[in-house]
Amino acid sequence: MKLIGSAVFCTLSVAFRLAAQTFLPGTAPLKTQGDLAAEMVDGINEYLVRATAESVAKRSATRPDRERLKEIIGAVDPRVPFTSVGEGYTRSRQPTTLRRGTGSVR
């Protein structure tokens, strides 16, 4: 029984090794030398630089949309000058009256 098991194991091992040596159609083994990770990072950098330059041209086309958005959210309204924080607020650590009447907080 051990002999049959060993023979099956050896046969399967050889079959798997032979299958591992075959390549998909139109492909070849990777034989590139050098730092593949560095090449990948350089390729990504080139793509991002190119995509960023292309996006600048697209942004100028969206200018009217941006102006319309400013109007919608009120970003074009004149700014109101700051005068005070309002009654009941103070910079000191002393408590201040926040409300008057029944159950006022002190």
Q: Which two tokens stand for residue 69?
A: 């958005």
CA distance 96 to 83: 19
Contact between residue 47 and residue 40 where contact means Cβ atoms under 8 Å apart:
no
Region 48-71: mean pLDDT is 84
Taking only the tens place, the pLDDT of each residue in 90-99 is 566 565 665 6
Confidence at residue 1, expressed as pLDDT on a 0 to 100 scale: 59
Contact between residue 45 and residue 39 where contact means Cβ atoms under 8 Å apart:
no
Q: What totals of helices (H) and strands (E) does the chain contain, helices first?
A: 3, 0
DSSP 103: T
pTM listed for this prediction: 0.36
Name the pLDDT band for 58 (thresholds 50, 70, 90): confident
Contact between residue 75 and residue 66 where contact means Cβ atoms under 8 Å apart:
no
